[in-house]
């Protein structure tokens, strides 16, 4: 049967594919040390699960308004004002089936075929795929480890053409963990206003920030910036709720209206029960985030200390999220355990999985050849064993 050109040119999500490969090996009895998927290992906090149970008991098991229940829209606006001092109204909120869906909504609602969307590299795997899916063109702007993987205002300005529709920004970043300094963000914001470019600011890791780093929402640089900003966020990462599939956009009212129409035709509402759980996540005790963050900080510090002690690896310290992103290219061309020699990060990951049973994701998928991503959203025993195995692999 025919399948469309548009979908045929899509590669499967590399993060999801890497996790599936690790799972397959594990099903054959291999003890795989898994660092692929960016998803918190913690279970969703009890008070949030209780709110979902209460919602079911109260009969909230039907369709909701297509773009989400008023209580969740109100909770999102209140949380944004509490955290960032910026007011949004419920008409500017659309609740979707996870942040990934929210990003697709934004691109489909805002881009014409042939429009250019600027994406700083390294970028999350799905960004370029989602841009291409709406017929727009990803324009990749390379950042470097030396610059902390942050795009400068000059790089942004130089990438703008008369076809540029949007910049996709992700701070803290998946895969690098880079947190843009406030002045760097402000400089980007000035260019966005001057050139009238829409900025999709994916702030899904905004609550997972490490000691010494500061998060600033892109919408907080004044009305002119806010008018050009679309915030994407959700409960997946901060509240360990990946499976509940709740994300959202905060956007100028006309964009929200366009997204609302699209969603009403495409998916209708996100899961009713998950929406009630998300209300509790945002309105309830926020201490659960800090409790998880203590563990993430400990794991981050441990992982960075171990990587620093291994031969030939380089990286920029992550300021947020839960990824270590490091360059392994100094190991290309030399004989690795198993007698293999590799010359790219994808083959490095394959060799590491086969001969050390450690599963990472190749940087090639993030537009960063030579790098690999390790998600430390897993327990310390796995992290310790995984780093022992990686070290042995690199030093044998
Ligand atoms: N943006 C980034 C940068 C992510 O890493 C993820 C992780 N999946 C998402 C969006 C999507 O989140 P969700 O699981 O809510 O769709
Ligand atoms: N965002 C996570 C990751 O990068 C989840 C998987 C995905 O949706 O790509 O691993």
The Cα 167–Cα 187 span in angstroms is: 14
The Cα 105–Cα 385 span in angstroms is: 40
Which of 331, 339, 340 is CA-nearest to residue 312? 331
Alpha-carbon distances of 303 from 42, 319, 373, 378, rounded to whole Å: 18, 13, 12, 12
217 Cβ contact partners less than 8 Å away, ≥ 6 residues apart: 80, 83, 84, 86, 201, 203, 206, 231
What is the rounded average pLDDT for all residues in the chain?
97
Structure tokens at 216: 């600033």
Residue whose CA is closest, atom 1 of ligand 2?
Answer: 38
pLDDT of residue 14: 87
CB atoms within 10 A of CB 264: 13
Q: Please tell me whether residues 249 and 345 are part of one structural domain.
A: no
Q: Please tell me whether residues 243 and 374 are part of one structural domain.
A: no
Residue 17 predicted with pLDDT over 90: no
The Cα 61–Cα 129 span in angstroms is: 33
Q: What is the DSSP letter of 283?
A: H
pLDDT of residue 6: 87
Q: Please tell me whether residues 149 and 263 are part of one structural domain.
A: yes
Give the position of tokens 């007698």: 339
377 alpha carbon – ligand 2 mean position (Å): 12
What are the pLDDT digits (tens) for 21-73? Answer: 899 999 999 999 999 999 999 999 999 999 999 999 999 999 999 999 999 99
Q: Please tell me whether residues 279 and 293 are part of one structural domain.
A: no
Q: Please tell me whether residues 63 and 178 are part of one structural domain.
A: yes
Residue 302 predicted with pLDDT over 90: yes
174 alpha carbon – ligand 1 mean position (Å): 9
Structure tokens at 148: 């902390």
368 alpha carbon – ligand 1 mean position (Å): 19
Q: Please tell me whether residues 358 and 374 are part of one structural domain.
A: yes
Taking each continuous run of H as one helix and of E as one strand, the counts in the chain are: 14, 13
Helix or strand or coil: residue 332?
Answer: coil
What are the pLDDT digits (tens) for 312-365? Answer: 999 999 999 999 999 999 999 999 998 999 999 999 999 999 999 999 999 999
Give the mean pLDDT of 104-113: 98
Closest ligand to Cα 102: 1
Structure tokens at 4: 């469309």
Q: pLDDT category, 99, cuts 50, 70, 90?
A: very high
Instruction: Report helix angle 99-110 to 126-133, nearest 10.
Output: 40
Identify which of 19, 101, 106, 204 to mutate to test ligand 1's pocket (most ligand atoms within 8 A of the CB).
Answer: 204
Q: Please tell me whether residues 264 and 210 are part of one structural domain.
A: yes
Residue 136 predicted with pLDDT over 90: yes
Of 256, 283, 310, which one is at a domain's C-terminal end? 283
Does ligand 1 come within 6 angstroms of the Cβ of 242? yes
Of 283, 313, 339, which one is at a domain's C-terminal end? 283
Q: Which H/E stretch holds residue 199?
A: strand 198-202
Closest ligand to Cα 15: 2
In sequence order, the β-bridge partners of residue 358 are 33
Q: pLDDT category, 144, cuts 50, 70, 90?
A: very high
Residue 94: exposed, middle, or buried by beta-carbon count in 10 A (0-12, 13-18, 19+)? buried
Is 73:260 a contact under the CB 8 Å cutoff?
no
CATH code, 117: 3.40.640.10
From the CA of 14, give the closest atom in ligand 2.
9
pLDDT of residue 47: 98
CB atoms within 10 A of CB 71: 16
Structure tokens at 312: 């030939």
Structure tokens at 106: 């934004």
pLDDT of residue 396: 87
7 alpha carbon – ligand 1 mean position (Å): 21
The Cα 235–Cα 207 span in angstroms is: 10
From the CA of 247, give the closest atom in ligand 1.
15
Residue 225: exposed, middle, or buried by beta-carbon count in 10 A (0-12, 13-18, 19+)? buried
The Cα 284–Cα 213 span in angstroms is: 25
Give the position of tokens 């909504």: 105
CB atoms within 10 A of CB 393: 20
What are the pLDDT digits (tens) for 189-243? Answer: 999 999 999 999 999 999 999 999 999 999 999 999 999 999 999 999 999 999 9
Structure tokens at 369: 């050849």
Spacing of C-alpha 5 from chain mean position: 27
The Cα 365–Cα 182 span in angstroms is: 28
Q: Which H/E stretch holds residue 326?
A: strand 323-327
Residue 320 phi, psi dihedral angles, 5° rounding: -160, -175
Does ligand 1 come within 6 angstroms of the Cβ of 123? no
Identify which of 13, 98, 245 to mutate to test ligand 1's pocket (most ligand atoms within 8 A of the CB).
Answer: 98
Q: What is the DSSP letter of 44?
A: P
Residue 11 predicted with pLDDT over 90: no
Q: Please tell me whether residues 97 and 20 are part of one structural domain.
A: no
Q: Please tell me whether residues 129 and 105 are part of one structural domain.
A: yes
37 alpha carbon – ligand 2 mean position (Å): 6
The Cα 382–Cα 31 span in angstroms is: 10
Of 238, 260, 283, which one is at a domain's C-terminal end? 283
Give the mean pLDDT of 169-177: 98
In sequence order, the β-bridge partners of residue 250 are 93, 231
Q: Which domain holds residue 128?
A: 47-283
Residue 12 predicted with pLDDT over 90: no
Q: Please tell me whether residues 197 and 73 are part of one structural domain.
A: yes
CATH code, 17: 3.90.1150.10
Q: Please tell me whether residues 279 and 383 are part of one structural domain.
A: no
Does ligand 1 come within 6 angstroms of the Cβ of 270? no
Share of the chain above pLDDT 90, in %: 96
Strands 314-315 and 323-327: antiparallel
Is 275:69 a contact under the CB 8 Å cutoff?
yes
Q: Please tell me whether residues 155 and 130 are part of one structural domain.
A: yes
Which of 225, 200, 230 is CA-nearest to residue 130? 200
Number of domains present in the structure of the chain: 2
């Amino acid at each position: 049967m025919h399948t469309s050109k548009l979908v045929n040119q899509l590669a499967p999500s590399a993060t999801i594919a890497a996790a599936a490969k690790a799972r397959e090996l594990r099903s054959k009895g291999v003890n795989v040390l898994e660092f692929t998927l960016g998803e918190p290992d913690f279970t969703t906090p009890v008070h949030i699960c209780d709110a979902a149970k209460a919602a079911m008991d109260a009969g909230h098991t039907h369709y909701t308004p297509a773009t989400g229940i008023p209580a969740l829209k109100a909770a999102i606006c209140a949380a944004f004002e509490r955290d960032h001092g910026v007011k949004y109204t419920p008409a500017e909120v659309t609740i979707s089936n996870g942040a990934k869906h929210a990003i697709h909504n934004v691109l489909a609602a805002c881009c014409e075929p042939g429009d250019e969307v600027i994406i700083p590299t390294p970028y999350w795997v799905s960004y370029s795929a989602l841009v291409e899916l709406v017929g727009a063109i990803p324009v990749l702007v390379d950042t470097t480890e030396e610059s902390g993987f942050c795009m400068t205002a000059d790089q942004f300005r130089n990438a703008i053409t008369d076809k540029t529709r949007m910049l996709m920004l992700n701070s803290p970043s998946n895969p690098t963990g880079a947190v843009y300094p406030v002045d760097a963000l402000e400089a980007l914001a000035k260019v966005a206003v001057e050139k009238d470019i829409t900025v999709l600011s994916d702030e899904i890791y905004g609550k997972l920030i490490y000691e010494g780093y500061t998060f600033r929402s892109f919408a907080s640089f004044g009305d002119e910036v806010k008018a050009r900003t679309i915030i994407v966020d959700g409960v997946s990462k901060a509240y360990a709720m990946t499976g509940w599939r709740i994300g959202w956009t905060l956007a100028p009212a006309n964009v929200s209206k366009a997204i609302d129409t699209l969603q009403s035709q495409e998916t209708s509402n996100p899961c009713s029960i998950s929406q009630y759980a998300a209300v509790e996540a945002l309105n309830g005790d926020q201490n659960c985030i800090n409790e998880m963050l203590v563990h993430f900080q400990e794991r981050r510090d441990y992982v960075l200390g171990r990587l620093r002690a291994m031969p030939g690896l380089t990286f920029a310290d992550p300021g947020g999220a839960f990824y270590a992103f490091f360059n392994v290219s100094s190991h290309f061309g030399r004989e690795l355990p198993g007698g293999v020699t590799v010359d790219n990060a994808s083959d490095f990951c394959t060799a590491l999985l086969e001969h050390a049973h450690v599963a990472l994701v190749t940087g090639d998928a993030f537009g960063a050849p030579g790098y690999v991503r390790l998600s430390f959203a897993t327990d310390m025993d796995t992290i310790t064993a995984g780093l022992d195995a990686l070290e042995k692999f690199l030093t044998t």
